[in-house]
Amino acid sequence: MPARRPRIRAVLFDLGGTLVDESDFGGLAELAKRLYLDLDADEIAHVYREVELEHDERPPPGDREQRQVEFWRAVLSGASGQPVGREGAERFRLWLTQESAPVRLYSDARRCLDALDAQGRALAVVSNSTSEARLRQLLDQVGILRYFARIVSSGTEGVAKPDPEIFRRTVERLKIAPGEALHVGNLLHTDARAASAAGLHALWLHRYGTGYGPEPMEITSLLEVAPWVHRYEHAR
């Protein structure tokens, strides 16, 4: 008789783009006017997602702030159809840190967390972010802080995804083996493949996808997470 698969004792989540929607493309268009750029919100949204996927696959060099500058330089240049220099992109990034952008919980997030909680899974957040304190503030703001046993921020840890170390630290604090954990995130390389490299199971949340993407498995909604865990544990 084949050995039973180890139980998924914990599910880890990315935050932005996975549990919460931090995008405010209308607000970005308004902010870009300070650089004398007249941008369309839909065009920014389109270019933003393209650049996000490109930088996920091929991250630019430098630290987190430098990568953010390059990200916004690429978005603003692509959306405007004209080159935006690093100085302008740096000013734009600084303005963003001073603005209070709306943060919305995705409609499928709470139902996903409730289903996993009912199954008895421990839950955690692993995010490339400023600090653990900021993560807790955002989670409390959208009303889901109570779900999480561990909250791990790259800014506090000094190590960021896709480095497998941040996943290893999280499962160690949950007192479980990597093979007993599942990570769910919206970036194929930074989240799903990095978690797999650390020995975790992984699901790639691609809300604009088809569900037939490359390994690790692609899903299009958080409502697929709890059923996937159930099927995995009961597969023979």
The CATH architecture annotation of domain 10-20+103-234 reads 3-Layer(aba) Sandwich (3.40)
Q: Which residue has the tokens 């995804």?
A: 161
The per-residue pLDDT of the chain, averaged, comes to 92
Give residue 220's pLDDT band: very low, low, confident or very high (50, 70, 90): very high
Rounded Cα gap, residues 9 and 19, in angstroms: 20
Q: Residue 11 has what pLDDT? A: 98
Nearest 5 degrees, angle CA 88-CA 89-CA 90?
90
Residue spans of beta strands (DSSP E) within the chain = 10-13, 20-21, 104-105, 122-127, 150-153, 181-185, 201-205, 218-219
164: amino acid identity, one letter: P
Query: What is the mean pLDDT of the segment spanning 105-118?
Result: 97
Mean pLDDT computed over 188-195 = 96
pLDDT of 175 over the 50 cut: yes
What's the confidence (pLDDT) of residue 236?
Answer: 66
Domain spans of the chain, in order of start: 10-20+103-234, 23-98
Q: Is 27's pLDDT higher than 70?
A: yes
Whole-model pTM? 0.90
Q: Which of 62-66, 138-142, 218-222 has the lowest mean pLDDT?
A: 62-66
